[in-house]
């Protein structure tokens, strides 16, 4: 029996994986899905698009109400990052971290404020931040429950529609709900208002199909991502997965 080729053995594009390591590896060779779209690049880029789009509708009071707790969360994240970096420099093992232990009552305070300010765009942006924080700690069930409460607010198209549905797809895939995740990604791909997410969504569709055993469909999505979005990190990653699929196919035929 021929040895299966691992992703490490076939060098694929690492740039996209590097931006996603805050919530886990992009995909392992055993096909366990950790669809890590909520990495630094996605959050920063997506929030900027959302913020710019709604610049004329920012509710000052909502921003001010959310700012205090957001500042506390950001400060805590910076402290954690420094602590982890110090351990890394000393070559000490990083201890397991808990969302509750790290942030305590800040989580419920943040969630309560988001719900209290549901009519504001600022609270939608905060929702994206909080869902990302849940997934950063692999609290995918909590992320799903929270996102399910927020999704009715985003309508049927647009920036927030795309961002929150992509996050829901991520949480679903991470808990093994790949058919449901596929539906979320398909909605994003079909939405013209979520065009800035299409490269990511097409790649995620390929991953979902591959995990579900639909190899031909996965290949189609990877081909589309690598060709239509060739300049993006998602497109480059898809190209790497296509190369890996071809090498595995060749190895299986030996």
Residue 99 lies in a domain: yes
Per-residue pLDDT of 87-116, as tens digits, reads 888 888 877 889 999 999 999 999 999 998
The residue that leads in pLDDT, 24 or 200, is 200
What is the model's pTM? 0.75
CATH, residue 167: 1.25.40.10
Residue 107 lies in a domain: yes
Q: 72, exposed or middle or buried, with CB in 10 Å at 0-12, 13-18, 19+?
A: middle
Nearest 5°: the CA angle 79, 82, 88 is 145
Burial 218-229 (b: 16+ CB within 10 A, else e): bbebbebbbeeb
Residue 3 lies in a domain: no
Instruction: Give the residue numbers spanning the domain of 237.
Output: 15-252
Per-residue pLDDT of 15-45, as tens digits, reads 222 323 322 233 333 333 333 333 444 444 5
Is residue 146's pLDDT more than 60? yes
Of 27-36, 37-46, 117-126, 142-151, the range with the lowest mean pLDDT is: 27-36
Quote the number of domains for the chain: 1
Q: Where does the pLDDT of residue 53 fall: very low under 50, low under 70, confident under 90, or very high at 90 and above?
A: low
Residue 1 lies in a domain: no
Residue 103 lies in a domain: yes
Residue 5 lies in a domain: no
Residue 241 lies in a domain: yes
Q: Where does the pLDDT of residue 216 fall: very low under 50, low under 70, confident under 90, or very high at 90 and above?
A: very high
């Amino acid at each position: 029996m021929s040895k299966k080729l691992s992703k490490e053995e076939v060098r694929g594009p690492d740039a996209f994986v590097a931006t996603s390591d805050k919530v886990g590896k992009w995909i392992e060779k055993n096909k366990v899905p950790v669809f890590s779209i909520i990495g630094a690049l996605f959050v920063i880029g997506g929030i900027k698009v959302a913020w710019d789009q709604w610049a004329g509708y920012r509710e000052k009071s909502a921003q001010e109400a959310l700012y205090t707790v957001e500042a506390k969360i950001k400060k805590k994240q910076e402290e954690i990052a420094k602590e982890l970096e110090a351990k890394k420099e000393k070559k000490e093992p990083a201890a397991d971290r808990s969302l509750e232990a790290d942030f305590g009552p800040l989580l419920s305070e943040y969630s309560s404020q988001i719900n209290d300010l549901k009519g504001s765009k600022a609270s939608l942006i905060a929702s994206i931040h909080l869902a990302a924080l849940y997934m950063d700690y692999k609290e995918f069930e909590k992320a799903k429950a929270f996102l399910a409460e927020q999704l009715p607010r985003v309508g049927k198209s647009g920036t927030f529609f795309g961002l929150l549905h992509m996050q829901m797809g991520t949480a679903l895939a991470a808990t093994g709900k790949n058919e449901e995740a596929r539906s979320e990604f398909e909605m994003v791909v079909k939405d013209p208002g979520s065009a800035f997410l299409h490269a990511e969504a097409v790649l995620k569709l390929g991953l979902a199909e591959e995990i579900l055993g639909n190899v031909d469909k996965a290949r189609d999505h990877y081909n589309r991502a690598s060709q239509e979005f060739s300049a993006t990190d998602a497109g480059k990653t898809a190209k790497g997965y296509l190369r890996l699929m071809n090498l595995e196919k060749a190895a299986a035929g030996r």
